[in-house]
Amino acid sequence: MLKRHGMVRLTFLFNNDNKITEIPIIRIRPNKAQPRKQFDEASLTSLSQSITENGILQPLTVRRASQSEYELIAGERRLRASVMAGLKKVPCIIVKCSDKESAIFALLENLQRSDLGVFEEARGISRLIRRFGLTQEEAAQRLGKTQSTIANKLRLLRLTYEEQELIISAGLTERHARALLRIEDEGKRREVLSKVIALNLNTQQTDNLVGEVLNDCPKHIKSMGSSKAVIKDVRIFVNTINKAVDTMRLAGIDAKAVKSENNNYIEYTIKIPKKTASDNKSA
């Protein structure tokens, strides 16, 4: 394995001068280090139809696991789609590599695909570190990432599995997840997550909501709307007060509205003469 300017290059020894070999699917076993656990059925169906019509355009990459079995290194989507297409054999390139290189290559192949889930990526990195006893810095070097990026990815796994599933099913982003991580109390975090999903909050609104829960943001900053919306609501309330005072005046009540404000609040005092109020009550 070679690393140059932050990029990772894996070096494999190929058998038979890169010869493509047809291998029975029944003799290919999955890669234990495969980070992807969820595969889109519609995408697999589309790929299966393409394979039926055009064949497999890119061979799978495998390594020999025993005299009769091969371990898949790259191409699990193609393998699954081939099974759906009813193929018995698939074209493969056989390489020689260590367990570590196989795990890293499987992870790298999926990291290069934009549809790899954020938690699948984090779990893949975590398994790589645990399985081979790597430090975060060593994992970062092998994956061509910074140590801080690896640390941030792994922090996502502090969310419970149920929370991760809710985030995935709701289509929330990594930024949503990282905002929720600021809440250490699991019960409060679940309440906030439910609110984020129910109100379809964006990442900035989620940050604000979490800030309110942690008392990091002023109480008057509302996470569910912009400051313009808040000001608009206040104006509606003020207009309501003014209309109430005007209505009383039209009814012969000498009501007055006195307004005062400072940096913290706006105060309205409604003054109604006692004599007028008692007269109306007796009437």
Q: Active-site positions? A: 76
What CA–CA distance (Å, rounded) separates 220 from 223? 9
CA angle (52, 77, 64) in 5-degree steps: 105
Written as one string, the DSSP assignment of the chain is -EEETTEEE---EEGGGG-EEEEEGGGEE--TT-------HHHHHHHHHHHHHH--SS-EEEEE-SSS-EEEEE-HHHHHHHHHTT-SEEEEEEEE--HHHHHHHHHHHHHTSTTS-HHHHHHHHHHHHHHHT--HHHHHHHHT--HHHHHHHHHGGGS-HHHHHHHHHTT--HHHHHHHTT---HHHHHHHHHHHHHHT--HHHHHHHHHHHTT-S-TT--TTS-HHHHHHHHHHHHHHHHHHHHHHHHTT---EEEEEE-SS-EEEEEE--HHHHHHHHH-
Residue 206 and residue 176 in contact, taking contact as beta carbons nearer than 8 Å: yes
